[in-house]
Amino acid sequence: MLIAGNWKMFKGPGEAESFLSAFEPPEGVEVVLCPPYVSLAAAVASGQTVYAQNVHWEASGAYTGEISPGMLAEIGVQGALVGHSERRQLFGESDETVARRARTALEAGLGVIACVGETLEQRESGDTELVLKIQVEAIAFVAGDHERLVIAYEPVWAIGTGKTATPDLAAEAHGFIKSVLDRPVLYGGSVKPENAAELLSQPGVDGALVGGASLEPDSFAAICRAAASSS
Ligand code: PEP
């Protein structure tokens, strides 16, 4: 089981250090923290496994505001998220840019958690599997079944909304994704200490990508304990 915490644009280095001094993850679960760029070094210093929230597809160049895989590796960051729905919806990420980011990061030896998921409109019009297939195939095309690649299924309508996919619906989507690409699949979308055990016990659910509930050391540790008991 892998539990990743995406802090989004929360916690500068000072707040990151406070979190890390209070956070006690259990044995038996792989934990990844994804702080904002400025807090990566503080998180690495804590000894936790740290991923960035994004990564560029070139090693260097005129790409204002971007960070390359080699720069992340140099400070001890072990991987990156790519294709988070906030990147896709608010910052114009396409399946192509997500795939390029994933490929370069994997080639540089980083781990990658590649996010996919349908919007409410796509689900309601019956297009969930079509959308997932297109998104996952774009990543599979460049990365194949690379051993450091993990997929995160995050239905967009469940992110930060308090709405969670039912366990059955999550299991169905995870099964479908694995039929397209045989890699571990994390569930993401309003995972909390109260619903983690049930979601994590579903077939095909190999862990969770947690947003809001990863910001407090106690709630994130509780989710990690739920994962350790379902392993
Ligand atoms: C996320 O940001 O990836 C996420 C799943 O957020 P939340 O847990 O807050 O829904």
Q: Give the nearest ligand 1 atom to 214 CA.
A: 8
**Of the candidates 97, 157, 95, the residue with the CA atom closest to the CA atom of residue 130:** 95
Q: Which residues are marked as active site?
A: 84, 154
**Closest ligand 1 atom to 188 CA:** 5
Direct distance between the N- and C-terminal alpha carbons of the chain, in angstroms, rounded to an integer? 6
Amino acid at 38: V
Return the residue whose CA atom lies nearest to atom 1 of ligand 1.
Answer: 211
209 lines ligand 1 (CB under 6 A): yes
Mean per-residue pLDDT over the chain, rounded: 96
Residue 159 has pLDDT above 90, yes or no: no
Which DSSP string corresponds to 150-214? Answer: EEEE--GGGSSSS----HHHHHHHHHHHHHHS-S-EEEESS--HHHHHHHHTSTT--EEEESGGG
Q: What's the predicted TM-score (pTM) here?
A: 0.97
Candidate from 113, 192, 209, 220 with most ligand 1 atoms within 8 A of CB, to mutate: 209
Give me the pLDDT at residue 103, please: 97
Query: Which ranges of 46-118 does DSSP label H, i.e. alpha helix?
Result: 69-74, 85-90, 95-107
Atom of ligand 1 nearest to the CA of 84: 3
* E strand or H helix at 32: strand 30-34
Q: Contact, 186 vs 211, CB < 8 A? A: no
Residue-wise pLDDT tens digits, 18-54: 999 999 999 999 999 999 999 999 999 999 999 999 9
113 Cβ below 6 A of ligand 1: no
Query: What is the average per-residue pLDDT within 207-215?
Result: 98
Q: Whose CA is nearest to atom 2 of ligand 1?
A: 211
Is the pLDDT at 214 greater than 90? The verdict is: yes
Q: How far is the CA of 204 from the centre of ligand 1 (A)?
A: 19
Whether 110 is in the pocket of ligand 1, judged by its Cβ within 6 Å, is no
Answer yes or no: is pLDDT of 11 > 90: yes
Q: What are the tens digits of pLDDT across the range 81-112?
A: 999 999 999 999 999 999 999 999 999 999 99
Local confidence band at 230 (pLDDT 50, 70, 90 cut-offs): confident
| Mean local confidence (pLDDT), 213-219 | 98
Q: How far is CA 4 from CA 29, 109, 142, 162, 180, in A?
A: 10, 19, 23, 18, 23
CB proximity list for 116: less than 8 A, separation 6 or greater: 83, 131, 132, 135, 136, 139, 151, 152, 153, 154, 177
CA distance 181 to 137: 8
Best CA proximity match to 47, nearest among 78, 73, 7, 71: 78
